[in-house]
Amino acid sequence: MDDRQHIGTTEARAGATPRMTRVILSVSLMLVVLLFALILFVWR
């Protein structure tokens, strides 16, 4: 017997997703790339 309850995606997420996550991930990725470039430049 299938007693599973099917709900929509909005109810399953239980709220909105803020855009701050994208900003934090983008900035941290750029910082990591710059850090590696700086290390590569100094290492030579």
What pLDDT does residue 7 have? Answer: 83
What pLDDT does residue 1 have? Answer: 61
The predicted-structure confidence for 1-44, as pLDDT tens digits, reads as follows 678 888 887 777 776 677 888 899 999 999 999 999 999 999 88
What pLDDT does residue 12 have? Answer: 76
What pLDDT does residue 44 have? Answer: 80
What pLDDT does residue 43 have? Answer: 86
Domain ranges of the chain: 9-43
**Alpha carbons 4 and 12: distance in angstroms, whole number:** 14
What pLDDT does residue 24 have? Answer: 93
Cα-based distances in Å from 9 to 2, 3, 15, 20? 20, 19, 10, 21
